[in-house]
Amino acid sequence: MRTGTSSTLSGLTEIIAQNVLVLEESMENKGINIPSLNDVYDSQLEFHNEEPEVARSIDMICRAALQLIQTVRSSKAILMQTALSHITASALRCASELHIATILYEAGPEGMHVADIAAKCGVDYRKLSSILRCLGKQWIFREISPEVYANNRLSSLLHKGKSYEDLTSDPDTIYDKPEAALSAIVGHMSDEGAKATSYLYEALTDQSFGFSDEADHSAFSLGLQTEKSVWEYFEEPGREDLLDRYAAAMEGLQEIEPPNLAEGAFDWASLPPESVVVDVGGGIGSVPIHIAHKHPEIEFVVQDRPAVIADGVKRWEQRNQAGYIHFEEHDFFEAQPIKNPSVFLLNNVLPDWSDKYAKKILMRLRAAAGPDTRLVTRDTVIPYSCQVPVSDKTLSIPGVVVQQLPQPLDINGPSAFSYDLSLFMTVLFNGMERTLGHMAELLRSSGWEIEKIEEHDAGGHLPSSIICIPLKGWRDPREMVSKYRMSFFG
């Protein structure tokens, strides 16, 4: 009889084997070969995670494989490699900023010697060799012969869609092409993101920063040595490149989602013609642009800071799509100018703020809402790293997905990505992604009641849509204080 660790190992390998068969059958039915890590990226050869059965099998394989690795590897080695994980991110930034993928794209499948790559970039080839070999251990770039590198499935995604000459001669337009969005994400996370993250401990234990809710008292503030929030920092003169990269990164995050995920966030077809949907803090309009062309009868208004709105208008004019949506400058901490819309949409806005400020945003929207207004928040719902007891009230919310994993799988695994993102929000903004219970409390205290949730998975891999209705009988505490002061002072 198998017991203990041997039973765990066998169980994990069985889960992997069973779900590999599902993927192989799916690809065979489509007449597509299993994608190879050695080939360059081809979206047609990817496993499509919008298919529920395929998505679940991918999740099961990743969970079981990671748990199997953590079970059999040296515990000390795991901790040491975890402590060194920032090295890979730094190497990835170097490759992206130096446009290595574009150089190798132009070199073709025969690749290029690292000395020639380095000469083109103007860097030390021995150091670049170490960088590429570090990335190679993660299957990013491929060493096809000693010191000769070529692109592969992962590295080819860093090609920005322009020639190396164009990238280096006009650095202000590096992220203009949609293909550059993933590089923008890499740059944002591994540049200012990494610098800020290295000061997480200092921010956590600092007497002023440790318990602060303020966006300008975060690890980012310490790491970048600024008294400004992330957005204020990006908008300072001379940092236009950071703002442009950040906007492209946010657009890229939207593109990573499976097709039609944003469209499925709400039953848009249920809205009558000429309904108004307000995308609050909507950036450059990445979400409504996916919806508006299918629902031209709906008026979409994107609100954000002036610099962001200007960038959004420019981007959609360049793509001849500006007519689908309207842009409006607005500070969401101030009174909402659009009253009684059909929908207020908050897409990845609340994680950027601590509860104190998230509540202010939500209360402004509640004050402007009509009785039939719906609030749709699209955020990652953070799963617990343990089983949720059946008595938990959030399990009764319509649409909630309960985590069900076969033995011997732990809850941890691929969900760690959502935990990483949540902590990244803390590092940058003193914000966070939230559990469903946390969201329910925050929403209710701000005058909103959850009607249902469109939760695509219980692991927090994809954004979930929480659809809310105005809480009956709710009174804005700021209004009550104002009335009290008026009556008290006459």
Choosing from 231, 252, 273, the residue where a domain stops is 252
Burial 226-245 (b: 16+ CB within 10 A, else e): eeebbbebbbeeeeeebbbb
For the chain, the domain total comes to 4
CATH number, domain at 263?
3.40.50.150
Instruction: Tell me which of 162, 196, 225 is where a domain ends.
Output: 162
- At which residue do the structure tokens 């008290």 appear? 488
Torsion, CA 29, CA 31, CA 34, CA 39, rounded to 10: -160
Structure token pair of residue 40:
């360059």
CA–CA distance, 210 with 18 (Å, rounded to integer)? 47
Helix axes 181-190, 240-256, angle to 10 degrees: 120
Tell whether 223 and 305 lie within a shared domain.
no
Position 420 in a domain: no
SS (HEC) of 32-79: CCCCCCCCCCCHHHCCCCCCHHHHHHHHHHHHHHHHHHHHHCCHHHHH
The pair of three-digit structure tokens given for residue 478, joined into one six-digit string = 């700021």
In this structure, are 71 and 92 located in the same domain?
Answer: no
Last residue of a domain, one of 78, 94, 122: 78
- The bridge status of strand 374-379 relative to strand 276-280 is unpaired
The domain in which residue 58 lies consists of 4-78
Q: Which of 13, 23, 9 is nearest to 58 (CA)?
A: 23
Residues 269 and 303 in one domain: yes
Asked if residue 488 is part of any domain, the answer here is no
Whether residue 285 is contained in a domain is answered as: yes
Question: Quick check: 196 and 224 in contact, CB under 8 A?
Answer: yes
Pairing, β 464-470 against β 448-454: antiparallel
Q: Domain for residue 396, yes or no? A: yes
Q: How many residues does the chain have?
A: 490
Whether residue 323 is found in the same domain as residue 440: yes
Closest CA to 467 of 388, 373, 395: 373
Same domain, 348 and 440: yes
Task: Indicate whether 170 belongs to any domain.
Answer: no
Q: Would you say residue 191 lies in a domain?
A: yes
DSSP secondary structure string, 330-355? --TTSPPSS-S-SEEEEES-GGGS-H
Question: Residue 286: inside a domain, yes or no?
Answer: yes
Residues 66 and 201 in one domain: no
For residues 294 and 430, membership in a common domain is answered with yes
pLDDT tens, residue order, the chain (490 aa): 455 566 899 999 999 999 999 999 999 998 888 889 999 999 888 887 668 889 889 999 999 999 999 999 999 999 999 999 999 999 999 999 999 999 999 999 999 999 999 999 999 999 999 999 999 999 999 999 999 999 999 999 999 999 999 999 999 999 989 899 999 999 999 999 999 999 999 999 999 999 999 999 999 999 999 999 999 999 999 999 999 999 899 888 877 777 678 888 999 999 999 999 999 999 988 888 888 888 999 999 999 999 889 988 887 776 655 456 899 999 999 999 999 999 999 999 999 999 999 999 999 999 999 999 999 999 999 998 888 888 889 999 999 998 889 999 988 776 678 899 999 999 999 999 999 999 999 999 999 999 999 987 788 888 999 999 999 988 887 665 455 455 544 5
Q: Is 263 helix (H, G, I), strand (E, B) or coil?
A: helix
| Same-domain check for residues 47 and 101 | no
Shared-domain flag, residues 213 and 109 = no
- Whether 158 and 226 share a structural domain: no
Q: Strand pairing partners for 488?
A: none
Verify that 278 and 307 share a domain, yes or no.
yes
Q: What is the CATH number of the domain that holds 109?
A: 1.10.10.10
Residue 168 in any domain: the answer is: no
Q: Tell me how far apart the alpha carbons of residues 413 and 434 are, in angstroms, rounded to a whole number.
A: 18
Residues 68 and 215 grouped into a single domain: no
Q: Tokens for 72?
A: 């059999």
